Amino acid sequence: MFGIEFVPSDPVLKLAYYTKLAEDNGFDNVWITDHYNNRDVYTTLAVLAQNTNRIKLGTGVTNPYTRNAAITAQSIGAVNEISGGRAVLGIGPGDKATFDAMGIEWEKPMTTVSETVSVLREFLSGKKVSHQGERVNINGAKLAFKPGNIPIYIGAQGPKMLELSGKIADGVLINASHPKDFEFAIKQINAGVKAAGRNPKDVDVGAYACFSIDKKEDRARNEAKVVVAFIVAGSPDAVLERHNIDVAAKKSIGDAIAKGDFGALMGGMVTDDMIDAFSICGTPDTCNSRIKELKKIGVTQIIVGSPIGPDKEKSIKLIGKEIIGGK
Ligand code: F42
């Protein structure tokens, strides 16, 4: 399966155009990110629903802190209804920095995700929900409509979150691009699958990847550099070490980002090794061979994330023709 990520930092109608193009080029899922400073994810999904016929529409990902579980259930339920059953809910612990800015305390992220997913399933199935958990409290709330069975995906990177996903989620969205990261992640997911007595096939494993494609290798690689810089700056040391990347580079790249010194990033700070570790990037042939490796390890959905390519429209068409069409 193939998915595509869009960030509603772009106007919603522009994303509607790209999403229709992605649908016409064979993509199965669109994932819309959720951050308070961009357009609202559910409004965006509603517009996408009206402009497409087949593609599945997911939050990629929302979080359990900015919205009560009842509100998340009513919103995704409405998207499911207007799209004829195409909604998918991606949820993750969220991003501490944005919660700090909003004055929201980020406590026990894993427990909060776990309790929220269980409560969401009850709301979606039309039940009256009562849950007095460690982090989630619902006192007899019930939706006045029954959204039905909407798949729930968890955005996860950490070992415990991955294991939790294997236990309770229909899919996992993993921000990574390299086989080494997926060898680690799938081991963790499978531990959860086993502990819960599930079948590994019950969990769709998504590579939520920094992706850049172009007919010219160097154009694709150049376009990926800024996104890769942000990934390096935000990666735990263990992840950098897994890819033999100098941990000190994290600070210098972080400083360059803070100063807005994109010239330095483009001019050599972001190395080829970093691009290889943190993106799927290059010509259709290069991308296809990485995708083949990932599928062999157990990745079941490739999600084409930012930047997609130097020219989004051409890149979506190139993926449709040379990757999805040629699979
Ligand atoms: N975040 C957003 O805010 N918006 C997005 O649109 C978005 C998209 C997205 C897509 C894919 C994806 O993989 C992630 C995405 N994210 C997005 C980020 C996501 O929300 C998370 O921030 C990200 O996945 C990081 O999660 P993580 O798996 O690293 O989990 C964190 C919380 C972590 O520390 N996990 C640890 C682990 O080992 O997995 C476990 C922490 C733990 O055990 N905590 C205990 C608990 O109960 O929570 C408490 C421990 C204690 O002592 O208090």
Q: Which of 20-29, 67-76, 179-188, 265-274 has the lowest mean pLDDT?
A: 265-274
Q: Is residue 326 scored above 80 in pLDDT?
A: no
- Please state, for a pLDDT cut of 70, what percent of the chain lies above it: 100
In our burial notation (b when 16+ CB lie closer than 10 A, e otherwise), range 251-282 reads eebeebbeeeeeebbeeebbeeebbbbbbbbb
Ligand 1 atom with minimal separation from the 158 CA: 39
SS (H, E, C) 266-306: HHHHCCHHHHHHHCEEECHHHHHHHHHHHHHHCCCEEEEEE
Report residue 327's pLDDT band, with 50, 70 and 90 as the boundaries: low
Average pLDDT over residues 287-308: 98
Ligand 1 atom with minimal separation from the 156 CA: 28
- Residue for token pair 């399933």: 121
Just give the CATH number of 2-216+279-324: 3.20.20.30
pLDDT per position as a tens digit, 225-264: 999 999 999 998 999 999 999 999 999 999 999 999 989 8
Q: Nearest to residue 327, comparing CAs of 305, 302, 309? A: 302
**Alpha-carbon distances of 276 from 224, 269, 285, 292, 305, rounded to whole Å:** 10, 14, 15, 15, 15
Domain locations along the chain = 2-216+279-324
Q: Counting Cβ atoms within 10 Å, is residue 111 exposed (0-12), middle (13-18) or buried (19+)?
A: middle
The best mutation among 96, 98, 104, 110 to test binding of ligand 1, ranked by most ligand atoms within 8 Å of the C-beta, falls on 110
Q: Is residue 194 scored above 70 in pLDDT?
A: yes
Residue owning the nearest CA to atom 41 of ligand 1: 110
Ligand 1 atom with minimal separation from the 33 CA: 6
- H helices of 144-300, where? 159-168, 179-195, 217-234, 237-242, 248-259, 262-264, 272-278, 284-297
Cβ of 96 closer than 6 Å to ligand 1, yes or no, is no
Cβ of 94 closer than 6 Å to ligand 1, yes or no, is yes
Average pLDDT over residues 78-87: 98
Average pLDDT over residues 92-96: 92
Query: Does the model's pTM come out above 0.85?
Result: yes
- Give the pLDDT score at 249: 92
Cβ of 108 closer than 6 Å to ligand 1, yes or no, is yes
Angle subtended at Cα 175 by Cα 169 and Cα 181, rounded to the nearest 5 degrees: 95
Radius of gyration for the alpha carbons in the chain, expressed in angstroms and rounded = 19
How far apart are alpha carbons 327 and 202 in whole angstroms?
A: 23
